[in-house]
Amino acid sequence: MLSCVGVGFHCVDYLLRITNMPSFEGPEHARVVEYSVQGGGPVSTALVTMAKLGAKVAYMGRVGDDDAGRFILDEYRRYGVDVSHIRVEKGGTSPRDLVLVHAETGERAFIFFPFKLIFLKIEDVDEELIRNSKILLIDGCKGEAFIRACKLAKKAGSIVLMDGVPSKDLIGLVDIAIASDDWVRMALKAKTLQEALEKLFARGVEIAGITLGSEGSIFKTEEGVFRQRGFKVKVVDTTGAGDVFHGAFAYGIAEGWDIRKTAEFASAVAAIKCKRLGGRAGIPDLQEAINFLRKTGSPYF
């Protein structure tokens, strides 16, 4: 059985660590300190994280038949993500973006290229694949196909974990929802962190979580609310940290860990990732993550 099947957004990240942001109005130039091309996207990077930790995972959906689509597929294969349920769409253009990272502060700016691709169509939804997976991981992509995938997962008794805030169409279909503080407040029009957490939990989930960057994360279940600390590391780039957090969290859930152990593990894996440029280059394997946690005095590892 698979630990997880994922459906949602994936892309190619062209990452530049630069000394400063150039201006159209001035003569100054930016110098590139480091350059990398990596796969990106919430579900995509989460699946890569799980595969790097040792889980069996698959992506279900589509890529374009362009260079970006071939790169996305090649990266999945390199990290061990099952691509046998990915269809290559003729004439489709896969998403790409340019990520500018300030070399000193780690601040980021994104420039997105236009693309033409529907990530999941009804005919792509494989009931047997979903039934044979412990977790269905989704993001904020919308459409009838995504709703059908969630319904099939619920029917099969699989856990539906969402990176984002469940829309009204997904209420009752999502078991775990985890999103960033800014995104939750905007989506649910919440003024405070506590209000955001309560509103997210009210979307019918069993576990509601909000990531808070270097400050860690906060969770609410029927048993109450708890806070997970962040881990201090020398940050190079935070790109993909939330995606990695979701992947590590899904790994813990698939392993049957309790939520506090899972949250601590996810926080550590995301922190380690931030020590290198891009969303994937810094993802640790399982032993590296455990060694890191043991050095911090974790009660679980």
As a whole number of Å, the CA-based R_g of the chain is 19
- Position 28 scores a pLDDT of 73
Tell me phi and psi for residue 222, to 5 degrees.
-65, -25
CATH code, 2-295: 3.40.1190.20
Per-residue DSSP letter, 282: T
Q: Are 3 and 55 in contact (CB under 8 A)?
A: yes
Sequence-separated (6 or more) residues with CB below 8 Å from residue 194: none
- Position 105 scores a pLDDT of 84
Instruction: Report helix angle 241-254 to 42-53, nearest 10.
Output: 50
Question: DSSP of 246-273, one letter per residue?
Answer: HHHHHHHHHTT--HHHHHHHHHHHHHHH
- CA of 295: how far to CAs of 71, 268, 274, in Å? 36, 11, 18
- Position 27 scores a pLDDT of 62
- Position 40 scores a pLDDT of 97
Sequence-separated (6 or more) residues with CB below 8 Å from residue 169: 142, 147
pLDDT digits (tens), the chain, 301 positions: 999 999 999 999 999 999 988 777 766 788 999 999 999 999 999 999 999 999 999 999 999 999 999 999 999 999 999 999 999 999 999 999 999 999 988 888 999 999 999 999 999 999 999 999 999 999 999 999 999 999 999 999 999 999 999 999 999 999 999 999 999 999 999 999 999 999 999 999 999 999 999 999 999 999 999 999 999 999 999 999 999 999 999 999 999 999 999 999 999 999 999 999 999 999 999 999 999 999 999 999 9
